[in-house]
Structure 1
């Protein structure tokens, strides 16, 4: 009999729930390590998100090669692929994987379970990606929470699973003889999914991958940044966030390992805030699981009739960081060149797109999906619906971030702006937040002519704010 370990977004050997159960139950059986590339998940117009994920797969494959293990990489329609595999290995009778609770992954898992049943294969699937499952925390009446604070109170008291201690020694694992070779015969499946070298920015080309790199980043954050997390996390010019989300997205690091690393740290407001962010991650997963159409439909029904302007030229200027609002432009250029954006800036840029420009939040979510190297569907969709005031526990529709005020508050010296909008580097910290109001004499003195060296504002914020409030109230009235 042969067992398969089907890796997906859990690219690690440590604290891998499905792998742990497989080794406990079937370590005497031949084992195939498998990664399946589903064409329906791919797009021709892919960006940093896809490149980074498949770079992580490539790195994981090399890690296994060093242990004398081959990762079998198959590409094709799901049912056809696994039927072919069953024909090649008719003795294959068990498959282990970590399940998805939301989105495409949940739909794929339902399809896969039906396929395995038809093939006579026993599927063993486990919860692994979150500290607490989507269905575990409910109100006393059995319904799900829609507001974070009462959810968090139960989340705090809920017992969290400990990391799995896996006694993994490849020398003790019986690998399928024909799969055991360490050759690179299926690397082409991955290479075709990566961005060409000339399209990579320096930051993307220098990314580190793997569990070792992830654990180093975790140790550095816990040791040097956790205690001040609440004080520094909103300031993009400072190294105040963990940046662990990229490793959680690929599963190179488990969420249980992160939680367990934070627990022994000295109590601080920073530690408290960080753990609350882990709870938000679970909360958004629960929201997506209970609102499966959330990526396409607003959760608040009376905001289904907003008249979005959806100006294509303004959308492009937003994506390119050419709005005339320096904090917005710096943030969007950071995303465009690094595939990452500071969380405070994600809120500001999302608010600007949806409220100032009245561009549909789904367009912004789709662009972030393409670009973010740490893209998590539940968190990204939840964040966009929060900013657009269409989601659960979202910001009120009349609360609209002022990009100038936000800039002064969270990048007071303009350090972050100057890093990504270098044409404004000659401006003082008082001038840099909204250069269009500077008189021509100062512009000439600073060698920054608005409309030439830096764009005019794409829109007047105060006017746009009134328009947005009216559009949201009209949608409510129509409902």
Structure 2
């Protein structure tokens, strides 16, 4: 009997799943069987973060959905790569493995290693690009080198044909599933035990939840996306980033649903949203071509800036106790929900790097732990943009004023009141600068003078220009 394993990683869906579609075609041609598998990697399970808890809860939701709706079991093995894949070969006698590969970071290193290991044992390996509209080497300049500026990249990206979502014949899939007892009941119990210790529970983590969220966004927020996406107090964004991270929905499904709803004559709102999808591909491309950006600034002359590592200020930033309401609201939302509005991400990142002058890498690492939608390439790109050290970044002399940002994007203070209860009943005219009022409140005074820190930030960069 021909047997193939489908290795699920961050693609917990059945619709438009490239590796699954190809595996089913393989099984149909050979009258073979398929087995679903997830690697419970100690590299992630040993560190308990919001990012990991949300991810593993999504895995469990996916397993429950497949078991309840289709009688399909997703097998779990726990251990390091060598141990797990040797056991997988021994237990399944598989002929082939199908998965959607990573192009960047530790994921790429793991995939390359696993491919060599499996091929050494005579297993055919089929790995596919699936996570982006265009992968890291799809959209390049005419000379074959990567773009370093977003606008020309987007023009080229926009012209490229877009793949359509793939459908899966569920009756055919069920007919080709291999039904056996769990490969390791001990490993599956270990996974269940890990989940039982989660500090927070998230709802709406399934593929169906993602599809509902997409339709809701198209019907309610997309028509006004260009005007309301920067206002954190309203539901003006798609909130699909956690689903794209875990793969409960594909980027192709999102793109084509938006396009089909409005046709090819994009208005400003649709074009603005599609540009955001392209930013995701752009940062992925940058990270794949310039992997050093995980720990080093993209701009060489800014790699040795004398950033601060002030622990007291860093703690105030993490706890949302900087004395600047919009910054504190954002950091408290992050701590409470594991998610943060994109405009506020820019504000808090700018504050940490330009007002506190703290190393952008400290902020990037903190977001890695806290964000349920953490995407390595996008997060690195976003932090380097805010710190003015990345590709196509905000100029160093453009320093976000947290007070003006607050007044512009949260004029009535609705967002601030939601996450800073000390200011919940504070009158609107003073909520952006509570220290200027005569009210007696239990809220910290500003921990820095923004005007002074802005001057220091600019001087920091100007010194590097002279070196």
* Range class of TM-score, shorter chain: over 0.9
Listed one character per residue, the Cα deviations across residues 318-360 of structure 1 (whole Å, up to 9, x for unaligned) are 0000000000000000000011100000000000001110111
Does 2:24 correspond to 1:35? no
The offset of 1:97, in angstroms, is 0.3
Rounded Cα–Cα distance in structure 2 between residues aligned with 1:476 and 1:69: 60
The offset of 1:435, in angstroms, is 1.0
Does 2:76 correspond to 1:73? yes
Tell me the residue number matched to 1:336: 335
Does 2:230 correspond to 1:231? no
Are the equivalent residues in 2 in contact too, given 1:325–1:403 (CA < 8 A)?
yes
Report the 3-state secondary structure (helix = DSSP H, G, I; strand = E; otherwise coil) of the residue aligned with 2:429. Answer: coil
The offset of 1:171, in angstroms, is 6.7
Tell me the residue number matched to 2:135: 133
The offset of 1:315, in angstroms, is 0.3
Residue 459 (structure 1) aligned to one of 425, 448, 456: 448
Rounded Cα–Cα distance in structure 2 between residues aligned with 1:94 and 1:238: 48
Are the equivalent residues in 2 in contact too, given 1:49–1:372 (CA < 8 A)?
yes
Residue 168 (structure 1) aligned to one of 167, 170, 182: 170
Report the 3-state secondary structure (helix = DSSP H, G, I; strand = E; otherwise coil) of the residue aligned with 1:408. Answer: helix
Listed one character per residue, the Cα deviations across residues 234-279 of structure 1 (whole Å, up to 9, x for unaligned) are 0000110000011110000011100010002234211110011111
The offset of 1:195, in angstroms, is 6.9
Rounded Cα–Cα distance in structure 1 between residues aligned with 2:112 and 2:171: 32
Are the equivalent residues in 2 in contact too, given 1:69–1:170 (CA < 8 A)?
no
Rounded Cα–Cα distance in structure 1 between residues aligned with 2:428 and 2:3: 65
Report the 3-state secondary structure (helix = DSSP H, G, I; strand = E; otherwise coil) of the residue aligned with 1:340. Answer: coil
Does 2:161 correspond to 1:159? yes
The offset of 1:92, in angstroms, is 1.1
Q: How many residues align?
A: 460
The offset of 1:88, in angstroms, is 2.5
Tell me the residue number matched to 2:65: 63
Report the 3-state secondary structure (helix = DSSP H, G, I; strand = E; otherwise coil) of the residue aligned with 1:92. Answer: coil
Taking structure 1 as the reference length, the TM-score comes to 0.93
Residue 90 (structure 2) aligned to one of 76, 84, 87: 87
Taking structure 2 as the reference length, the TM-score comes to 0.95
The offset of 1:308, in angstroms, is 1.2
1:297/1:194 CA distance change after superposition, 3 Å? farther
Tell me the residue number matched to 1:54: 56
The offset of 1:11, in angstroms, is 0.4
1:326/1:210 CA distance change after superposition, 3 Å? same
Tell me the residue number matched to 1:265: 261
Gaps of 5+ in 2: none
Listed one character per residue, the Cα deviations across residues 35-57 of structure 1 (whole Å, up to 9, x for unaligned) are 0022223443x221111000000
1:389/1:117 CA distance change after superposition, 3 Å? same
Rounded Cα–Cα distance in structure 2 between residues aligned with 1:79 and 1:184: 19
Rounded Cα–Cα distance in structure 1 between residues aligned with 2:239 and 2:192: 26
1:20/1:304 CA distance change after superposition, 3 Å? same
The offset of 1:206, in angstroms, is 4.8
Report the 3-state secondary structure (helix = DSSP H, G, I; strand = E; otherwise coil) of the residue aligned with 1:430. Answer: helix
Rounded Cα–Cα distance in structure 1 between residues aligned with 2:170 and 2:86: 29
Tell me the residue number matched to 1:389: 388
Residue 242 (structure 2) aligned to one of 242, 246, 262: 246
Tell me the residue number matched to 2:150: 148
Residue 472 (structure 1) aligned to one of 447, 461, 464: 461
Listed one character per residue, the Cα deviations across residues 177-236 of structure 1 (whole Å, up to 9, x for unaligned) are 42479x976543323443735x32xxxx35212111110000000111111001000000
Are the equivalent residues in 2 in contact too, given 1:230–1:274 (CA < 8 A)?
yes
Rounded Cα–Cα distance in structure 2 between residues aligned with 1:315 and 1:346: 16
Listed one character per residue, the Cα deviations across residues 103-162 of structure 1 (whole Å, up to 9, x for unaligned) are 111111111111111111110000000001110111111111000000001111100100
How well do the aligned residues superpose, as a CA RMSD in angstroms? 1.7
1:189/1:180 CA distance change after superposition, 3 Å? closer
The offset of 1:64, in angstroms, is 1.5
Are the equivalent residues in 2 in contact too, given 1:9–1:251 (CA < 8 A)?
yes
Are the equivalent residues in 2 in contact too, given 1:51–1:193 (CA < 8 A)?
no
Are the equivalent residues in 2 in contact too, given 1:354–1:361 (CA < 8 A)?
yes
Tell me the residue number matched to 1:416: 415
Rounded Cα–Cα distance in structure 1 between residues aligned with 2:91 and 2:424: 62
Tell me the residue number matched to 1:434: 433
Does 2:302 correspond to 1:303? yes
Tell me the residue number matched to 1:114: 116
Are the equivalent residues in 2 in contact too, given 1:72–1:186 (CA < 8 A)?
no
Does 2:92 correspond to 1:98? no
Rounded Cα–Cα distance in structure 1 between residues aligned with 2:44 and 2:335: 22
1:333/1:166 CA distance change after superposition, 3 Å? same
Rounded Cα–Cα distance in structure 1 between residues aligned with 2:174 and 2:191: 29
Structure 1 window deviating more from structure 2 (109-118 vs 411-420): it is: 109-118
Report the 3-state secondary structure (helix = DSSP H, G, I; strand = E; otherwise coil) of the residue aligned with 1:41. Answer: helix
